[in-house]
Amino acid sequence: MARNETPKKGIHPAVALAAIVAAGLVVRLVFLVQIERSEFGGVLSLDSRFYYDLARAISAGGAPPAGALDFNPLYPAFLVVVFKLFGAGLLAPRIAQFALGLFTIALIYAAGARLVEGPRKGRPSAAITAIAAATMALLYRQFVLYEGTIIATALEVFLVTASFMLALALDEDLRGERPMRLRTRRIPQWVSSCILGALLGAGALGRPNFFLLLVAAVPVWILLRNLRKRRGMVPALSCLAGAALFLAPPIVYGAALTGRVVPVSAHGGINFYIGNRPGSTGVFQPPADMRADMRGMIEDAKLKAEAETGRAMTQPEVSGYYVRKALGEIGRDPAWWLGLVGRKFLVFFNGIEVPDVPNVIFYEKSCGVLAFLFLPFAVIAPLGLCGLVVLFRSGRNRSVVSLFLGCAIASVLLFFVNARYRLPAVPILILLAAFFVAWAVREISRRRLKSVAIMIAAALALFFLVSHRTMVRVNESAAYTFLGNYYIANKDEAKAAEAFAEAYRLDPEHVEAMINYARILRKRGEAQTSVDLYARAYALMPRFPRLAIEYGSALELLGRRAEARRLYEHALSIGRPGEQVLACRLLAQAALAEGRRDEAIVWVKRALSIAPDDAKLAGMLEWLEGMR
């Protein structure tokens, strides 16, 4: 609520905030119970499983992965702290993330009150703006969905909201309108700037593409805000110092291991390429010869880069390779790329929530409380854009809003649009939407209907022409692949078969969908159809050793042993130790089936040279050597 502003009638803003937060608490408690009872409550996507397993290993005394970081370290660090305090499990992280979600609602309320502060007469009511913003945050289901997901998004949303709120307060302080205080004590500008930088630095460990832009832009903004009075250097440097507290450790760690300066993690290059390669539609769609999950995609991208360059590469080198490859494509056809950026911009404000963490989809289907959270992004976006126009006309807080919203949009346009990448921008759009609502209420109360009618017409035009249109097709194939893997892990092959069949139907050109469906067909006895699918997949992804092994096994069922043997040898030449041992074992079995015992012994010995402690291989060798 604005300073010295008291509502003349109606409910007190503090009571309204308490009611909104209480409602948010009830929603999250019900959602938590429904998750725990849901069939999918304990299911983690491959990305979530990676973070969970890594944090559990580190909290138990294990060492971080060797080499440069190829993941964002914020969330594993958060999980390690939670596991150290409460033990490993899914309940404690979810409760912690729900608590952050409630704090986020409170911060959105506080930012809404500050967004309209200042001496200008006739400004929209701070109370209405703050209450409307907090209510919108309560009714937006994606916040609750991602708070219940084992992924960093809830932390990122909290950090961007906290840093935006602090930037608004610092802006007032820098203008000399309202010094920041802790009770009665004045907080020096360099202290608040340092805290702001620390929030941004922490955020960069979870979402580098967004927060690193802010880390670069906010100190410049602080400097320019005080350019005439020449007092901006100290707070600007303090902001950078605060960010460095979090950014320096991973950068120094990566440089010490690789000899290269890598900002946070070494997997941004492949994401940049995916979002800017020929054939990109502006959303996450990896090449057909790469898997769709984070870890699989990183592995496949490295194999592909090494095959194309003919040399072994570190992860920072792989990232740099894909950045250069994407820039080369952009340079060859800049007009096409500008059109792609324009499409991403429209998709950014489109109402479709493009998922990239599959289990979120199933939460929506199995947690009934989400039906009560009915406010869609398709409504928030046009209201927010109209609020931006009104805010610019009012002359208040323009620099802070432009800075944060501009960086949020740019961070997505540089890569690709999905719900998770877009979510940190939603608190700012919600605040702008609430500002527009408060402005419209004030204008209507003063009978200034013409300006309100024009802006409402603009909001409706944006809704029907941009937000409400079907601009992208959400491909749920990856979600059904995830579901199939879940059923396989739970030994429910019938349901797994249905899920994999649906994944293939939705995306018959993707390698992962082909492989999983080929496995189902093979188990059903449809050997030739299975082989045909494996052949299509292998033509797209010949560097995937596990695929070569499975394809070879399917060929053996049809008696095509020579072709199978060539595939096993190929897997042996490109695979990792586990796949090399499996290829040797299959080659030994194939040789033995054709009566070539001595050749089988050679293959088993080669497998033992890779895995000398494998008791089964040692027993197999002993049995072969004992044959007469």
Tens of pLDDT, residue by residue over 575-608, are: 778 889 999 999 999 898 888 888 989 999 999 9
- pLDDT tens profile 271-283: 899 999 988 888 8
Q: Sorting pLDDT into bands at 50, 70 and 90, what band is 124?
A: low
Burial class of residue 432, CB neighbours in 10 A (0-12, 13-18, 19+) = buried
- The amino acid at residue 422 is R
Which DSSP state fits 612? T
Domains, in order of start, for the chain: 13-263+351-467 (no CATH), 477-583 (1.25.40.10)
Stretch 45-50: mean pLDDT: 85
Tokens of 160: 């961007």
Percent of the chain with pLDDT over 70: 94
Mean pLDDT of 299-327: 87
Which value, to the nearest 10 degrees, does the dihedral of the CA atoms of residues 286, 292, 296, 302 take? 0
Q: Is the pLDDT of residue 70 over 80?
A: no
Average pLDDT over residues 285-304: 79
Cβ atoms of residues 82 and 76 within 8 Å: no
pLDDT band at residue 574 using 50, 70 and 90 as cut-offs: confident
Helices (H) and strands (E) in the chain, counts: 29, 2
CA distance 436 to 118: 17
Q: Which 3 state secondary structure label does DSSP give 64?
A: coil
Residue range 404-455, pLDDT digits in tens: 999 999 999 999 999 999 999 999 999 999 999 999 998 898 888 999 999 9
Quick one: pLDDT band at residue 7, thresholds 50, 70, 90? Answer: very low
To the nearest 10 degrees (0 to 180), the angle between helices 493-506 and 511-523 is 140
- Give the pLDDT score at 32: 95
Compute the distance between CA of residue 165 and CA of residue 143 in angstroms, rounded to an integer.
18
CB half-sphere exposure, 65, CA atoms < 13 A: 18
pLDDT higher at 622 or 143:
143
Average pLDDT value for residue range 281-301: 79
Q: What is the three-class DSSP state of 204?
A: helix
pTM: 0.87
pLDDT averaged over the chain?
88
Q: Render 309-350 in DSSP notation, one character per residue.
A: HTS---HHHHHHHHHHHHHHHHHH-HHHHHHHHHHHHHHHTS
279 to 320, 412, 484: CA distances (angstroms): 21, 18, 28
B/e letters for 461-487, b = 16+ CB within 10 Å, e = fewer, are ebbeebbbeebbebbbbbbbbbbbbbb
Alpha helices per DSSP H over 471-526: 477-489, 493-506, 511-523
Q: How confident is the model at residue 95 (pLDDT cuts 50, 70, 90)?
A: very high
The proportion of the chain whose per-residue pLDDT surpasses 90, expressed as a percent, equals 53
> What pLDDT does residue 6 have?
47
Flag whether pLDDT at 545 surpasses 90: no
